[in-house]
Amino acid sequence: MIYSIGDSIISPLAMTSHGNFEAVLRGESRLQYYEHAFGLPEPSFLSLFEEERLDQAFSALWDCGTAGYTRMEKAAIVAASQAIGEANIAADRDNVVFILSTTKGNVDLLEDNPYEPERVYLWRSAQLIAEFFDNPNTPVVVSNACISGCAAQITAANLLRHGGYKYAVVVGAETLSKFIVSGFQSFKALSKERCQPFDTNRCGLNLGEAAAAIVYTIDDDDIALPDNTLILRAGAINNDANHISGPSRTGEGLLRSIRKVTDGHDLSRLAFINAHGTATLYNDDMESVAVNRAGLQDTPVNSLKGYFGHTLGAAGVLETILSHQALKHHTILRTLGTEQPGTVQSLNVSLQNQPTDGNTFLKLISGFGGSNAALLMENHTHTNEPSSVVETRLIASESKTNEPSTVETRLIASLQEHHIASTCQITDNAVILNGETFITRGVQCENWLADIYHASGMQYPKFFKMDNLCKAGILAAEILLRDVDFDREQVKEDWGILLMNQASSLDDDRHYQTTIRDAGNYYPSPAIFVYTLANIVTGEIAIRHKIGGETSFLIFPDFAPERLERIAVQTLAANPELKHLICGWVDYDEGRCDVRMFLYQLVES
């Protein structure tokens, strides 16, 4: 059983989980109109940290001044510190792993970087956060666009069940910048007024800053827990395999995730659904379709975006904690800003704070790259009925102990059930397929990725619209799968994609930065901005090959073969439904291409 032993939310509203809950209960929000936030020419409606307040909170932890850390890092450290303090764990032990959920980290440093050059890399921020607590392990960065916060909690559960750790500190953190706000503006996705989730008049989202942290641990299912403990019952991620920025009109991926986390569970005490509810036309319609298709249209639905805005990489963590606070206080929170619900299919939108005797909630989230996630969370109390919940997704690999030897045995068994069916490596000079040279770079070559495209025989005009990271990834997948027999027409739930790299989407980030750098030539490009998320490459591969299972993107300081294999096996162990997993390192930075992609397949007995 995976459960929380400490949490924290710091936001412009308040600097603790409970403080934020009380402010939300009072209907407060720090979302406000800015005429020229970050020097932008267009107005925006944002929720921003007060610098002084953030620095005060950070200074209470660290007496060497605030200059050594960025705003995002300070927010993350304050949240993590509070959660670790509540959990009362020794974060410097090697049985603790840090997981950072963020979409853009310190991307604002592309404009002006007073720190070391590596500071713009997400792995470096995660490293600094873990080092602040003297943690000896390599931290994991989950960068899965807007679903990152929920994906990070699922990663935590995997690492606790299959990675040998006893504690996972999940930190979601996002601060805003000219880069982020201009990109969303170029997408025409922002409302210039307070957002209205699920409202008939909704006209876009608001962005917000926040950091939130949860410390999860693992124990036997029959352990006696204190009242009001948050239990992570199940989590799932699914790809729409439809479009990199537009939600599926049929809610396909989100529906699959809802079904995975609810199948086999008693939902009689499901209190509410905390939806993504961004207040964009298409997201909220998509969620209404998925919830209706899941038969949950009568369950109260709320969105917290009217209080905090969309806090991107922090959203999944923040909204899980706040929903738990609400459940502890037997409350279904109001969807602030919404007056007249109006989605393509009807939802029971919570328009007032209301009482509940439920003990469970569903957290839903969706994002760019076609990604969707659902979490089934339970507030444990002694008055709960004896649990009839069956952890169906993980039953095959559940264990009573987390001794390393048991974990190793389980992983070896999982590896034996799968084998690597195909490999593809792309370097700056050659493409290697299953150990043999597929193509070498010509002396006269000017565009290596385009040369590989033509050599692969791929007919996919969209290739030329992609950034270099996506081009490298989709080419590797194309070549990796060229001799593999599989259904190329139907969306496949038993296929997944797990990629990782060092540079995230930094190559494209730098490209986008050139479109907003000069005030006299300020034309932020949506077609470039959409690729400033590392997980878009998983979305492009999912669309091309119709892959509807879990897709995820992780970031580490370097390529380590044993780490990649371990994570692949952990992912397969945690997702018994996955029979095929495209797993690999896909990196493109400073003109250098480094791709090592593997196809793990279940051995049919």
Closest contact distance (angstroms) between CB of 206 and other proteins is 17
Closest contact distance (angstroms) between CB of 515 and other proteins is 9
Residue 549, number of CB atoms within 10 A of its CB: 26
Q: Does 446 bind other proteins (CB under 8 A)?
A: no
DSSP symbols for 500-540 = EESSTTHHHHHHHHHHHS-GGG----HHHHTT-STTHHHHH
Of the residues 524, 539, 548, 584, which one makes contact with other proteins according to CB under 8 A: 524
Q: How far apart are CA 63 and CA 150, in angstroms?
A: 33
Helix, strand, coil shares, percent, the chain, to 5: 35, 25, 40
Query: Considering beta carbons, is residue 245 or 320 the nearer one to other proteins?
Result: 245
Of the residues 525, 557, 565, 566, which one makes contact with other proteins according to CB under 8 A: 525
Q: Which residues pair with 237 in a beta bridge?
A: 373
Instruction: State the SS3 of 471-482.
Output: HHHHHHHHHHCC
Cβ atoms 504, 121 nearer than 8 A: yes
Residue 263, number of CB atoms within 10 A of its CB: 12
Closest contact distance (angstroms) between CB of 181 and other proteins is 16
Q: Does 127 bind other proteins (CB under 8 A)?
A: no
Closest contact distance (angstroms) between CB of 537 and other proteins is 16
How many angstroms separate the Cα of 150 from the Cα of each of 259, 376, 454, 534, 552?
16, 11, 38, 16, 11
Closest contact distance (angstroms) between CB of 194 and other proteins is 18
Q: Does 566 bind other proteins (CB under 8 A)?
A: no
Q: Does 442 bind other proteins (CB under 8 A)?
A: no
**Mask: binding to other proteins, 531-560, rule CB under 8 A, as x and -?**
------------------------------
Q: How far apart are CA 267 and CA 294, in angstroms?
A: 12
Cβ atoms 72, 65 nearer than 8 A: no
Q: Does 188 bind other proteins (CB under 8 A)?
A: yes
Residue 97: partners with Cβ closer than 8 Å, 6 or more residues away: 135, 137, 139, 140, 156, 159, 163, 165, 167, 168, 169
Closest contact distance (angstroms) between CB of 67 and other proteins is 37
Of the residues 526, 560, 576, 602, which one makes contact with other proteins according to CB under 8 A: 526
Query: Which residue stretch of 140-148, 244-252, 419-427, 479-487 sits at the interface with other proteins (rule: CB under 8 A)?
Result: 244-252
Q: Does 527 bind other proteins (CB under 8 A)?
A: yes
Q: Does 245 bind other proteins (CB under 8 A)?
A: yes
Strand bridging mode 371-380 / 229-239? antiparallel
Of the residues 68, 246, 404, 561, which one makes contact with other proteins according to CB under 8 A: 246
Closest contact distance (angstroms) between CB of 246 and other proteins is 6
Q: Does 523 bind other proteins (CB under 8 A)?
A: yes
Query: Which residue stretch of 43-51, 186-194, 378-386, 410-418 sits at the interface with other proteins (rule: CB under 8 A)?
Result: 186-194
DSSP symbols for 62-118 = -TT-STTS-HHHHHHHHHHHHHHHHHT--TTSTTEEEEEE-SSTTGGGGT---S-GG
Query: Considering beta carbons, is residue 345 or 525 the nearer one to other proteins?
Result: 525
Q: Does 117 bind other proteins (CB under 8 A)?
A: no
Q: Does 107 bind other proteins (CB under 8 A)?
A: no
Q: How far apart are CA 347 and CA 343, in angstroms?
A: 7
Query: Considering beta carbons, is residue 25 or 40 the nearer one to other proteins?
Result: 40
Cβ atoms 321, 83 nearer than 8 A: no
Query: Considering beta carbons, is residue 437 or 521 the nearer one to other proteins?
Result: 521
Closest contact distance (angstroms) between CB of 516 and other proteins is 12
φ, ψ for residue 363, nearest 5 deg? -105, 125
Residue 457: partners with Cβ closer than 8 Å, 6 or more residues away: none
Closest contact distance (angstroms) between CB of 226 and other proteins is 48
Q: Does 419 bind other proteins (CB under 8 A)?
A: no
Q: Does 187 bind other proteins (CB under 8 A)?
A: yes
Q: How far apart are CA 592 and CA 588, in angstroms?
A: 6
Query: Considering beta carbons, is residue 419 or 462 the nearer one to other proteins?
Result: 462
* Size of site (CB under 8 A) for other proteins: 18
> What angle is formed at CA 168 by the lines to CA 167 and CA 173, rounded to 5 degrees?
150
The dihedral through the CA atoms of 155, 158, 162, 168 has a sign that is positive
Q: How far apart are CA 282 and CA 419, in angstroms?
A: 40
Q: Does 36 bind other proteins (CB under 8 A)?
A: no
The alpha carbon of 361 is separated from its chain's Cα centroid by a whole number of angstroms, namely: 19
Q: Is residue 228 helix, strand or coil?
A: coil
Query: Considering beta carbons, is residue 386 or 523 the nearer one to other proteins?
Result: 523
Of the residues 259, 330, 465, 546, which one makes contact with other proteins according to CB under 8 A: 465
Query: Which residue stretch of 147-155, 184-192, 429-437, 489-497 sits at the interface with other proteins (rule: CB under 8 A)?
Result: 184-192
Closest contact distance (angstroms) between CB of 274 and other proteins is 27
Cβ atoms 577, 602 nearer than 8 A: no
Q: Does 243 bind other proteins (CB under 8 A)?
A: yes
Q: Does 43 bind other proteins (CB under 8 A)?
A: no
Of the residues 464, 562, 591, 604, which one makes contact with other proteins according to CB under 8 A: 464
Closest contact distance (angstroms) between CB of 590 and other proteins is 22
How many angstroms separate the Cα of 334 from the Cα of each of 271, 301, 454?
13, 9, 54
Closest contact distance (angstroms) between CB of 188 and other proteins is 5
Q: Does 26 bind other proteins (CB under 8 A)?
A: no
Query: Considering beta carbons, is residue 182 or 397 the nearer one to other proteins?
Result: 182
- Burial of 267 per CB tally in 10 Å (0-12, 13-18, 19+): middle
Closest contact distance (angstroms) between CB of 539 and other proteins is 12
Footprint on this chain of other proteins (rule: CB under 8 A): 186-188, 243-246, 461-465, 523-527, 530
